[in-house]
């Protein structure tokens, strides 16, 4: 390893990825690797611009740019049913949102693509806008529904404004009986082809870090509850719904999601799923 070179890797700033990064946050991070902590939408931009070499990204971002990246094996942020942190809060049932005002958080690519797909399938044509949605006060009175993700979905009292909560994980499972993959880890294809040994070292570090994370999951739950000022039982329930692996069933679910996005013309072409090996 050339000690003069320092590689940059993305890190999701939400608590959902804490198990993967636990070991790296507690002594495993080598001097030659730097972690850049940002929301998924920012990490998408950084790796697209070649400012980082490997990162978790939105699943939809990978689908849009699949020719430039390879999936990192056995890493994702996914659920098998309810997820709690990716929600459409609404004054109306889903089927009654035609011509209604809907705000999407600017931090989401996957969830935004998902609900555009759902609206297309159901022939619902809302008035869509995008803005920062981190606090309940970010939502104007004329907004009929809001897509909220991450820590904001867990911490803000959205049910004081909205009667209906549509959990993306629940909705997908009711359609497919499959898990839903929100984020995947990717490496720039050009970097991986020229530096396979370095990529392998980083993947080994991530796997060791994730293993330590699940060994110390109670500490992660306590820290998450403290960070978000939430009841520890609620945060434990949240982590019980989350998975950080990428098994065959989740790859099948990814492929189905991409197929739907292509069929509903959210994507211009149908992505190929290619994994670094």
Instruction: Report the CATH number at residue 50.
Output: 3.40.190.10
Domain match, 66 and 191 both: yes
Residue 111: φ, ψ to 5°? -65, -40
As for how many domains the chain has, the answer is 2
The three-state secondary structure class of 12 is strand
Q: pLDDT at position 63, please? A: 96
Is it the case that residue 3 has pLDDT exceeding 70?
no
Does 214 map to a domain? yes
Residue 227: pLDDT over 60: yes
Query: 201 and 170 share a domain?
Result: no
**Rounded Cα–Cα distance for residues 81 and 90 (Å):** 20
For residues 115 and 1, the model is more confident at: 115
pLDDT at residue 142 in the model: 93
**Assigned domain for 274 exists:** no
Across 179-194, average pLDDT: 97
216 compared with 131, residue with greater pLDDT: 216
- Are residues 96 and 148 both part of a single domain? yes
Average pLDDT over residues 153-165: 94
CA dist 245 and 243 (Å) reads 6
96 and 135 together in one domain: yes
Say whether 73 sits in a helix, a strand or coil: strand
Q: Do strands 242-243 and 69-79 pair parallel, antiparallel, or not at all (unpaired)?
A: antiparallel
Looking at the fold, whether 75 and 205 belong to one and the same domain comes out as yes
273: in domain: no
Q: What share of the chain is helix, strand, coil (3-state, %, to 5)?
A: 45, 25, 30
Are residues 194 and 166 part of one domain? no
Q: Is 277 part of a structural domain of the chain?
A: no
**Domain stop point among 155, 176, 197:** 176
Instruction: Quote the pLDDT of residue 1.
Output: 59
In a domain, residue 52? The reply is yes
Residues 172 and 187 placed together within one structural domain of the fold: no
Find residue 184's DSSP bridge partners: 57, 76
Please provide the average confidence, as pLDDT, over all residues in the chain: 95
Q: For residue 133, give the DSSP letter.
A: -
With CA atoms as reference, report the closest residue to 21 among 223, 191, 198, 179. 223
Residue 275 resides in a domain? no
As a whole number, mean pLDDT of residues 199-208 equals 98
pLDDT at residue 40 in the model:
84
28-57: per-residue pLDDT in tens? 999 999 999 998 889 999 999 999 999 999
| Among 157, 176, 195, residue at a domain's last position | 176
**Angle at the Cα of 199 from the Cα atoms of 196 and 203, rounded to 5 degrees:** 135
Q: Decide if pLDDT at 2 tops 70.
A: no
Q: Are 275 and 268 in contact (CB under 8 A)?
A: no
Per-residue pLDDT band at 106 (split at 50, 70, 90): confident
Q: Are 184 and 172 part of one and the same domain?
A: no
Got the DSSP string for 196-226? HHHHHHHHHHHHHHHHHHHHTHHHHHHHHHH
pLDDT tens digits, one per residue of 12-21: 988 999 999 9
Model confidence at 219, pLDDT cuts 50, 70, 90, reads: very high
User: Which among 152, 176, 200 is the end of a domain?
Assistant: 176
pLDDT digits (tens, 9 = 90+) for 237-255: 999 999 999 999 999 999 9
Give the torsion sign (CA, 235, 107, 242, 202).
Answer: negative
> 23: domain range?
7-79+180-263
User: 132 falls in which pLDDT band (50, 70, 90)?
Assistant: confident
**pLDDT exceeds cutoff 60 at 108:** yes
């Amino acid at each position: 390893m050339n000690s003069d070179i320092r590689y940059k890797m993305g890190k999701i700033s939400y608590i959902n990825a804490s198990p993967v990064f636990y070991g790296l946050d507690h002594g495993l991070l080598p001097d030659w690797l730097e972690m850049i902590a940002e929301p998924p939408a920012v990490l998408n931009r950084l790796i697209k611009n070649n400012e980082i070499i490997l990162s978790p990204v939105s699943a939809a971002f990978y689908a849009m740019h699949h020719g430039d990246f390879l999936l990192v094996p056995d890493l994702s942020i996914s659920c098998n049913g309810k997820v709690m942190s990716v929600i459409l809060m609404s004054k109306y049932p889903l089927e009654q949102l035609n011509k209604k005002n809907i705000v999407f958080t600017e931090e989401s690519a996957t969830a935004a693509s998902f609900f555009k797909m759902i609206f297309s399938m159901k022939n619902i044509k809302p008035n869509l806008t995008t803005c920062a949605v981190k606090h309940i006060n970010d939502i104007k009175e004329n907004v009929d529904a809001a897509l909220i993700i991450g820590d904001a979905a867990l911490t803000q009292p959205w049910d004081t404004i909205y009667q209906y909560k549509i959990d993306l994980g629940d909705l997908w499972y009711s359609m497919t009986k499959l898990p839903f993959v929100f984020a995947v880890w990717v490496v720039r294809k050009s970097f991986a082809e020229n530096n396979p040994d370095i990529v392998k070292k980083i993947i080994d570090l991530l796997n060791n870090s994730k293993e330590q994370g699940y060994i110390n999951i109670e500490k992660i739950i306590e820290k998450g509850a403290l960070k978000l000022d939430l009841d520890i039982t609620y945060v434990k329930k949240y982590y019980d719904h989350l998975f950080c692996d990428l098994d065959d069933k989740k790859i099948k679910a990814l492929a189905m999601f991409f197929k739907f996005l292509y069929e509903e013309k959210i994507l211009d072409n149908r992505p190929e799923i290619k994994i670094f090996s």
